[in-house]
Structure 1
Amino acid sequence: MPARDSIDRHIAYWRAEVPGLDPDVEGVVTRMQMLVRHLQRRRTEALGELGLLSWEYDILWQLRAAGPPYQVTPTALAIALDTHPATLTHRLDRLTRAGLVERARDRADRRSVVVVLTDQGHRAWESAIGSQADAEGLLLAPLSESERRTLVRLLRKVVLASEKDGTELMVVPRSVQRPEH
């Protein structure tokens, strides 16, 4: 019998309370939820060590994802981050004071303003993404390369079924999309 984890104990408890509980479904869904929470805690800790908050990283990520010249309009950022424009303005002010972003006139339309990732912002993003990659690598370290590929294949199957209605679970802004290879 394989070792029991905390989710097995959770399922054992709830099976007594909910007789029709499917232990496989509950096991998969609860494990995914708990692993996401675990990664979110690690992300918050790692970002804190770098002096960043989660929302600051999210803005840097959006700018980096835009590709060279790493600039996006405030409106596009607000939409991508699902943030009220006034909230975004406050956050951009803070990031500007920290030297991570700057506002500039759009070269294509001098009436428009763009948010630009600074060199310091690039370095902060690279440090943060490195910390995240380390945490994710540690999380999946118990799996062999073959097991990882199997897990990816199985999760992709679940995501594709979830996206069947046309609603993507992860939306990449059109301005950020790059051709697939």
Structure 2
Amino acid sequence: MDACRAALEAHYAVHRTIPSMAGLARLWDYASKSSASRRVDQLIGAGVLLWSADRRLAPGPAFRILPDPRAQASQPDTSQPDLGQPDLGPQDPDPLQAALAAWATDYDPVLVRSYSVTTRLLRLARSMERHMTQSAAKEGLTSGDVLLLDALYRVGPPHRIAPTALKHYFLMSLAGVAKRVDRLEALGFIRRVPNPDDRRGLFIELTEAGRSVLARLVADDRAAPHIVWPTALSEQQYHAMIESLTIAEALVAEAHENDRSISMAEET
């Protein structure tokens, strides 16, 4: 069985498909499909294979997802290290592949496709947020603090704005703005200054120290994989990703607005 499993995993590494029963018989050099079927039953029992909802064979939780040997062969000579690419070390099989196979046994195919993308986006976002938090912590800040400093910087010189207008410059939601302003003022990274058009009003302004700490963090980002990973994409991949994410964001936002409208209508 081990030899059959190894041959199948090697085939999947190249073709990313599980052959039909006739194809498995040829792959394993069996005389008949019935012999291949018995071997498949053993592999299913071992968790290497499973039947999907449309009665196709799919990788099971014990299936080893191997890298495509053709991709490895096309890699440039590494005798001279490429200093522009980080060494990520040995890569474990992607557990999402096993999850997809398991979902395919019971879930609607539309949901399987949806879960595959949504889950990967969530994993990526959490990983990036964790690294952003660690980067900000080097300067005694939180990732939210950095977002606030960045928003002030993008306002443009003199990097000053009314606190109530600040939220319009955030690229993502940020709770507790008032507390963050107090915290960053205590650190000397921002200051409150009088509003010349409103004696009772105040502006918050980015200080020289605030610009300096933001500049250091931006410089660190140039070597941070969780920030610069899009540079590894081709132009086509990059533009396709931006377009896809823009469409996804619009669809989700539209659904949210529709839900709000329905809720408001029900309340009235």
TM-score by length of 1: 0.73
Structure 1 residues 109, 44: CA separation in 2 closer, same or farther (over 3 Å shift)? same
The residue number in structure 1 matching 2:238 is: 148
Contact 1:64/1:70, CA 8 A, preserved across alignment: yes
Contact 1:100/1:118, CA 8 A, preserved across alignment: yes
Match of 1:19 among 82, 94, 107: 107
Match of 1:72 among 138, 158, 161: 161
CA separation in 1, counterparts of 2:214 and 2:203? Answer: 19
Structure 1 residues 160, 78: CA separation in 2 closer, same or farther (over 3 Å shift)? closer
The reply on whether 1:53 has 2:142 as its aligned counterpart is: yes
Letter in 1 for 2:218: I
CA separation in 2, counterparts of 1:115 and 1:32? Answer: 35
Q: CA deviation at 1:104?
A: 0.7
User: Which structure would you say has the larger RCO, counting Cα contacts within 8 Å and 6 or more residues apart?
Assistant: 1
Q: CA deviation at 1:66?
A: 1.9
What 5-or-longer segments of structure 2 have no aligned partner? 1-14, 17-66, 68-92, 258-268
CA separation in 2, counterparts of 1:66 and 1:58? Answer: 13
The reply on whether 1:116 has 2:172 as its aligned counterpart is: no
| 1:155-181: CA deviation from partner (whole Å, max 9, x where unpaired) | 2233343445796xxxxxxxxxxxxxx
The reply on whether 1:157 has 2:250 as its aligned counterpart is: no
CA separation in 2, counterparts of 1:141 and 1:78? Answer: 29
The reply on whether 1:34 has 2:123 as its aligned counterpart is: yes
The residue number in structure 1 matching 2:74 is: none
SS in 2 for 1:149: helix
The residue number in structure 2 matching 1:172 is: none
Match of 1:135 among 225, 248, 256: 225
Q: CA deviation at 1:116?
A: 0.5
Structure 1 residues 108, 41: CA separation in 2 closer, same or farther (over 3 Å shift)? same
What 5-or-longer segments of structure 1 have no aligned partner? 168-181
Letter in 1 for 2:188: G
Q: How many residues align?
A: 163
Pair member with larger Rg: 2
CA separation in 2, counterparts of 1:152 and 1:72? Answer: 30
Structure 1 residues 75, 137: CA separation in 2 closer, same or farther (over 3 Å shift)? closer
Letter in 2 for 1:63: L
Match of 1:102 among 174, 191, 203: 191
Contact 2:103/2:112, CA 8 A, preserved across alignment: no
Greater shift, 102-111 or 37-46, is seen at: 102-111
Structure 1 residues 151, 93: CA separation in 2 closer, same or farther (over 3 Å shift)? closer
Q: CA deviation at 1:125?
A: 1.9
TM-score by length of 2: 0.52
